[in-house]
Structure 1
């Protein structure tokens, strides 16, 4: 696979993001806004039919993107979108601050960015695209002034897991990129962190 570029999801790339996710959105109507919505709002949308839930989530991502918040990065091959990583300042992901298992140890720590999701079409998986997106996310967060990049991978203990279960990435993947992985003090969930700037 020849990846031409990995670019920020700016307003002018909204159509590309829609094309990448397809008519039902990434992960079955999620549209990669799970971490951007309060649990009660997302759960409320779950009670809707899948098309209604997808429409609500689609509008959330569209609003964020067209407002210029840059919700993540899009990978392109031959000018066609082929991969996605959701990375932004940690405060953009409201669910993190309310989550018992992922709540920040220091919610007032400045300059923390979070990487919460990867999405690749099935035929693009297990070909190294996730690692390329991770490196691009590191560079993007650093260029935007981030001091720390934080992520919430799963530990596959050296094995493999279904793609739908590793949308946040794996511990091994982040460790290979230089992240330090520790257990969340309350939940024990792995938290991966990488200092982007000294001091």
Structure 2
């Protein structure tokens, strides 16, 4: 996705890595921060380019990134004169970090049983069972199996994310999502 043109942003925005992340964040913001846009960046390596086009970090630009990708976030902020090294410091500057990634946050937050039930409701239960019998996945923790299965198959990650976010308790969101939603709701609208 192409970043907005400079000056083209008329409302606050949350930058996310990909489309499945956007599905979750849009659903979470729908009621609590409806004026905040959500933009998938096509990967966190594009964060600097988006920040450049949006006028840099600030209260009107938030981001959600995976823990393994924080070096890109710290580098992008540093290029804009902001020093943030820890997860806590990144959050002070509007960059919220999922412990592993958003799928792991959802699986842990809902519990593997709920995710398995959701897959069954999507007609993916048999495919998941077949997946768990594959030699490289047999005997592995269910949460790990679910994480890998979510990322396999065209469009599955976004479809599953859309169903899982519906099952989250809005009053008890996992930490990075709760912090992101609270920050987005606090952003003044133009």
Q: TM-score range by the shorter chain?
A: under 0.3
Give 1 or 2: higher helix fraction: 2
Does 1 or 2 have the higher relative contact order (CA < 8 Å, sep 6+)?
Answer: 2
| TM-score (normalised: structure 1) | 0.25
Give 1 or 2: higher strand fraction: 1
| TM-score (normalised: structure 2) | 0.26
